[in-house]
Structure 1
Amino acid sequence: MSIRPATLEDLDAMVALENRCFDDDRISRRQFRHLLNKGHAALLVADHESAIVASLVVLFSRGTATARLYSIAVAPEARGKGIASKMVERAEAEAWREERAWMRLEIRKDNAASIALFESLGYRRFGSFADYYADHMDAWRYEKALDARLKPRLDRVPWYEQTLDFTCGPACLLMAMQTLRPETQTSRIQEIKLWREATTVFMTSGLGGCGPYGLALAAHKRGFGVEIWVNDRGIQMIDSVRSPEKKEVITLVQQDMEREIAEFRIPVHFDVLGADALEAAFDDGAVPIVLISSWQIYNEKSPHWVVVSGFDEHFIYVNDPFVDYDDGETSIDSINMPIGRSQFAQMARYGKKGLQAVVLIKAEDAR
């Protein structure tokens, strides 16, 4: 048996194997072709006596150090011979070659053989998804650090998915509040309510997102301690807005927020909060909400909020409220996303001025 990268010449055999191995949740011919051509995936096949007896698909998250083992199929007559474990080991090597430090996957809760296989290969169960598969079966979530030195604590910050294109900030605030007060209820109505309080009204186009001042005020009014770090005293996120009327509204909104921040004596630091200070604040119990540019992850030139969920020697981990379903991702790709420290520093800035903003959410106001 030999394991090698798949090519378009293997397409018919891979589709046939997929249909033999699975009754539903199959990868279609069109999906296989797309994965072979798109460049953000590794597809492997195992040959035995001129026939393909196994296939495997790994997806590489754009802009992060995570790989996702999306599918593995082994022909019935080839099972029980160690082929699956060899395929997974080769997949891990491919992921490491692509500078991915973590491998993640989902497994059906009734698939005892797969659970035993991946646990024997060092994968750790770290969560579950209800009603995940087409037949409504739940899934376990597993992960493995491809470098044994990567052992951050990543169970502190819960994840919440934004339900609208412009509510990443409120979704992040819900994650932070639930971290500090587990009884906090997360729902779409709460997400929208926070957005109504924190929005800048307008953004690059359409409805506005939320800036650091609005998020800080919304958290403060709910009894949380907040601290703001921004590197620019000017009007935030206004450069890409063309309409003079919209610019005037954004300016008025920020000025009113600044008045409230001064009235409530919320600390504002006009400086950059570096990675070491960010980690120290996290270790001290704060939950950092960080503004990033989504260009490196989603190829979109837009401001975007994420929640820091952990640190280790090499990476800063974030919970991203956005899931790029169009690119084949699921929520597992947005939870505890590892981002290299130097890459995070480049990502945590937005616009021509390089706006850097962090809102530290704390359990209560210490003043």
Structure 2
Amino acid sequence: MAPRANWKGFLRLSLVTCPVALYPATSDTEKVSFNQINRKTGHRIKYAKVDADTGEEVAAEDIMKGYKVDTDTYIEVSKDELDDIALESTHTIEIDEFVPKADIDNRYLIRPYYLVPDGKVGHDAFAVIRETIRSMNKVAIGRVVLTNREHIIALEPLDKGLMGTLLRYPYEVRGEKEYFEDIQDVKITKDMLDLAKHIVEQKSGSFEPDAFEDHYESALIDLINKKRAGVTPSAKTAPKSSGNVINLMDALKRSLATERQAAPAPKAASSSKATGKKPRKAVAGQREMLLPISGKRTAKEEPKVQAPKKAEKPARPSVRSKKAG
């Protein structure tokens, strides 16, 4: 089932308007997450909003926003006052201009969204706007209000819909000069550059995100499985230091030799498109979790690894059978 829309309103290009919905294009819900619990009781920790001076808990209706101007001095701003300054873009994404995609500095990119027609009407207008952007080979720049703040959004065609990427304002992007000014100007010899290029060639390939693996996520899953089964995880040995490299040319030569040895044998069809097979998902290990982390497992999705009956009660006091949260 598709996630709930983050925003609903209208997309407008001059006099052409259509109802649209904005959905998040990324998600962190599949990642392993933890709750904080009391070590002594196993109960989940919760946070209360309290007065910083009196220590008393404050009811939600008594909480308002304040802008700090000095120590213990705030300018109070009510919700009604914030609503009064809301712009028209609260309900409309107005396309202001079209720019080449190459003109957008990557530092200004925040996060992607999917923009689709909302309901059964407006598909024609949506298609006109989408194909206009596609035919010009440019990116449409507009404004949208999310979480009470106005954002710049860059729209570009993606299959049958539009992908909208939120952009930062200039004041949110730090200049690079103060960070780069102490980098020394060094002369690179042609031999060094040639060796480095050979290393790059050995590591070159096509961008296939399905082949990426979140190693830390896999380690978390393995750790939780072991503790659930009553197995004490073994301490990881620290990797041995290879020492400081003095000769850069020697390091490049050894790196190239290592990459050549590690290079896999050429395949007849290296990409998933050539084989016609779907690449394996990198975080497939989560389906084998003994604990249903996502909370969405159905009866048909039983874990592949079953915990032994004797492990129903944890062997170690740090693991509690009482559900935390």
TM-score by length of 2: 0.21
Please tell me whether Structure 1 or Structure 2 has the larger radius of gyration of its CA atoms.
Answer: 2
TM-score by length of 1: 0.20
Bigger relative CO (Cα 8 Å, ≥ 6 apart):
2
